[in-house]
């Protein structure tokens, strides 16, 4: 039996990105939302005394994080990777799945937003291992979960349903092997130089 169920999306072409990211009436996220996240993440990491000079955007899509980071700090060196041939041809990203990415250097911050819901369980584990290798400081991680759906926090009229929907604890269990949950989607690599107080940690 194949590991990927037949209803899980596997094609990430122009039509997909126009529907979910570029057409305002059907987009699942906006540039303003990503900008708020970027401001929060960089401010929180500054509070934790973790400097961010380089960012890897793992599954960068149309580059919303690149635009947001430039609005916050134009000196940050940005690297985007994505498996979509269409996007890499259009935007110049490095074409690779996260799980297959073999970085020649590490990054102060790795961003992975709304990506791993399209990856099977084995792929998620491999992707987290790859992000651990690429990460020198912190990971910002976000993905739709059953918890969010149960709490009514996702607009199911807009959300892509052709995904793997897992519980938040499933992801936390994998992440805590290498990262400290600092809250707000921020996970610190265990050997990072950040200064985090006991009550700033989750779990």
The string of pLDDT tens digits covering residues 49-65 is 999 999 999 999 999 99
Strand order in the sheet with 135-142: 94-95, 77-82, 54-58, 107-113, 135-142, 186-189, 179-183
On whether residue 23 sits in a domain, the answer given is: no
Whether residue 56 is contained in a domain is answered as yes
Whether residue 17 lies inside any domain: the answer is no
What is the C-alpha separation between 169 and 179, in angstroms, rounded?
14
CA–CA distances in Å: residue 149 to residues 30, 100, 109, 154:
20, 30, 28, 6
Is 106 a member of any domain?
yes
pTM: 0.89
Residue 62 and residue 93: Cα distance in Å, rounded? Answer: 10
Q: What is the span of the domain harbouring residue 58?
A: 40-200
Greater model confidence, 11 or 10: 11
Helix (H, G, I), strand (E, B) or coil at 79: strand
Report how many domains make up the chain: 1
Q: What is the DSSP letter of 201?
A: S
Per-residue HEC secondary structure of 101-114 comes to: CCCCCCEEEEEEEC
Q: Domain of 167: which CATH number?
A: 3.40.50.150
More confident: 86 or 40 = 40
Q: Which helix (H) or strand (E) holds 198?
A: none
Q: Which of 150, 63, 167 is nearest to 113 (CA)?
A: 63
């Amino acid at each position: 039996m194949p590991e990927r169920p037949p209803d899980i999306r596997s094609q990430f072409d122009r039509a997909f990105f126009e529907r979910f990211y570029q057409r305002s009436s059907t987009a699942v996220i906006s540039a303003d939302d990503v900008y708020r996240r970027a401001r929060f993440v960089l401010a929180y990491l500054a509070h934790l005394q973790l400097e961010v000079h380089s960012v890897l955007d793992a599954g960068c899509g149309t580059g919303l994080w690149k635009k947001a980071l430039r609005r916050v700090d134009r000196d940050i060196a940005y690297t985007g990777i994505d498996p979509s041939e269409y996007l890499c041809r259009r935007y110049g990203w490095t074409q690779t799945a996260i799980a297959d990415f073999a970085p020649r250097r590490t990054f102060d911050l790795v961003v992975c937003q709304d990506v791993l819901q399209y990856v099977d369980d084995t792929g998620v584990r491999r992707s987290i291992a790859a992000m651990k290798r690429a990460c020198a400081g912190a990971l910002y991680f976000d993905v739709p979960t059953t918890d969010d759906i149960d709490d009514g926090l996702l607009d199911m009229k807009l959300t892509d349903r052709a995904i793997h929907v897992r519980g938040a604890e499933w992801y936390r269990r994998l992440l805590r092997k290498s990262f400290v949950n600092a809250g707000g989607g921020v996970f610190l690599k265990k050997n990072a130089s950040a200064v985090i107080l006991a009550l700033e940690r989750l779990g």
